[in-house]
Amino acid sequence: MSTAITVFDVGGTHIRQARWLRPGELSARTSRPSPSFRRFPGATVAELQDMMVRDLCDAVPRTPDAVVGLSFGAALDHRSGIVYASAPLWGGHSEPYDLRAALAARRSDVRWHIVNDVTAALLHAASAADRDAHRKVLLATVSSGIACRVIDQRRRRIPVDGCGLQGEIGHLPATAELAGRPVTLDCDCGSTGHLAAYASGPGIARMARALARREPARWAASRLARLTAGGTGFEPALRAALDDGDEPAAELLDAVTAPVAAVLRTALCLDPELDEVVLTGGVVHGLGPHYRRALMGHLTRQGLYLTSERAPDWVDRRITVTGPGEADSLAGAGIAACAGVPA
């Protein structure tokens, strides 16, 4: 294997690229927009897929024994590289796509190692020395999409089901409330009432619009509304409004973290061997301590039956919010390409 591996992290918004140098250093980082359905609304899914393949293949240096570690933001079969769906990239399209074959057809000189982006982030996070003694680690990412993975540290395995999948929580049924009443929203995948419909980056923006429709006067007077009306992007405006103690912004964050807390509460209840739940992704990083505070508010008010009463800090000690670079899918793609994926 070459001493340097080209690594990609393909998300719904950006393609990040770097060189992974053993034992794990990243160099020559770059970032560019992804060819997604939002960026090219008139393109077919086949055209978007072809754009993606051409972009990735053209970016790999033509060197002997070229190796690529690819972290891909999609629900995919980790045994074969077949992509089932990627709502952030392709919307509601769910026809299986042989990404590995498409890449190899264009660049047969490259050894392609493909993993889901959450798997890659977990591989990197789990490699930290202070997690060696853990039994299991769950990593959840909240970004343009939502998903999680669990690794068994004792066996270095990320188990998958009969379809090669694990942890696609973003498309589980979920409920949410705004202004004291239930709200129902569509997910990017085309279905209604999924976790990602309310709690992903695009979902939070949809929830904000729903709150504005329900309480227009209160919304118009909020710091968040004034910032977005003035041209500030939604995510930085939400962070600034939360920093300023804006009540509608806090109410919005409370509403969108409630369904996430419900999933994590269930996971901790069903698997007490989870020694740490690691939260990462653009939403988590962008909102900083506000996100964990809102999430823990739900898990404190409604925790685990008996456990939260008898050991009040049991859940709190297991919830970690990463900083940028601590669960890096680029680094995880290099780990997967160099050592193989534990599955």
Domains of the chain, CATH where assigned: 4-124+327-339 (3.30.420.40), 130-321 (3.30.420.40)
Both tokens of 312, joined, read 């009040």
Of 83-92, 184-193, 225-234, minimum mean pLDDT range: 83-92
Higher per-residue confidence, 4 vs 265:
265
User: How far is it, in rounded angstroms, from Cα 323 to Cα 74?
Assistant: 23
At 93 the three-state DSSP class reads: coil
CA atoms within 13 A of residue 293's CA, in its CB half-sphere = 9
Phi, psi of 178 (to 5 degrees): -140, 135
At 59 the three-state DSSP class reads: helix
Q: Is the pLDDT of residue 2 over 60?
A: no
Q: What is the pTM of this model?
A: 0.91
When pLDDT is cut at 50, 70 and 90, the band that residue 84 belongs to is very high
Q: Which helix (H) or strand (E) holds 111?
A: strand 110-116
pLDDT above 70 covers a percentage of the chain that reads 97
Q: What distance, in Å, lies between the first and last C-alpha atoms of the chain?
A: 21
Instruction: Indicate the Cα dihedral angle 288, 290, 291, 295, nearest 10°.
Output: 150
Q: Confirm if 90 and 37 have CB atoms less than 8 A apart.
A: yes
Higher per-residue confidence, 343 vs 288:
288
DSSP assignment string, 251-295: HHHHHHHHHHHHHHHHHHHH-TTEEEEEEESHHHHHHTHHHHHHH
pLDDT, residue 154, reads 95
Among 66, 56, 58, residue whose Cα is nearest residue 4 = 66
Among 109, 55, 121, residue whose Cα is nearest residue 323 = 121
User: How far is it, in rounded angstroms, from Cα 3 to Cα 215?
Assistant: 58
Both tokens of 171, joined, read 């498309």
pLDDT, residue 87, reads 85
For residue 123, count other CB atoms closer than 10 A to its CB. Answer: 29
Find the mean pLDDT for residues 29-35: 95
Alpha helices in the chain (DSSP H): 45-59, 87-90, 99-106, 117-126, 195-199, 201-214, 216-220, 223-229, 234-243, 247-270, 282-287, 289-301, 307-310, 329-339
When pLDDT is cut at 50, 70 and 90, the band that residue 340 belongs to is low
pLDDT, residue 342, reads 46
pLDDT, residue 133, reads 96
Q: Is the pLDDT of residue 12 over 90?
A: no
Q: Is the pLDDT of residue 301 over 50?
A: yes
pLDDT, residue 93, reads 85
Q: Confirm if 172 and 194 have CB atoms less than 8 A apart.
A: yes
Q: What is the mean pLDDT of the chain?
A: 93
Instruction: Indicate the Cα dihedral angle 25, 133, 326, 156, nearest 10°.
Output: 70
At 215 the three-state DSSP class reads: coil
When pLDDT is cut at 50, 70 and 90, the band that residue 325 belongs to is confident
pLDDT, residue 343, reads 42
Q: pLDDT digits over 201-216, tens only?
A: 999 999 999 999 999 9
Q: Is the pLDDT of residue 280 over 70?
A: yes
